[in-house]
């Protein structure tokens, strides 16, 4: 996975997290 793919994956996951806040979502922001 290159930087661009990782960036897109982060955006998608972030969007999902905003609709469904979870503990995983919180840890996901601490990278």
- Residue 28 tokens read as 């996901």
Per-residue pLDDT, 17: 61
Number of structural domains the chain divides into:
1
String of DSSP letters for 1-31: --HHHHHHHHHHHHHHHHHS--HHHHHHT--
Q: What is the pLDDT of residue 5?
A: 92
Domain span at 24 = 1-31
Residue 20 is classified by DSSP as: S
Distances (CA, A) of 28 to 7, 10, 16, 31: 13, 9, 12, 7
Is residue 3 predicted with pLDDT exceeding 70?
yes
For 4-24, what is the mean pLDDT? 74
pLDDT band at 15 (very low <50, low <70, confident <90, very high): confident
Cut 0.75: pTM above it? no
């Amino acid at each position: 996975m290159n930087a661009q793919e990782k960036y897109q994956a982060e955006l998608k996951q972030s969007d999902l997290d905003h609709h469904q806040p979870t503990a995983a979502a919180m840890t996901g922001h601490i990278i």
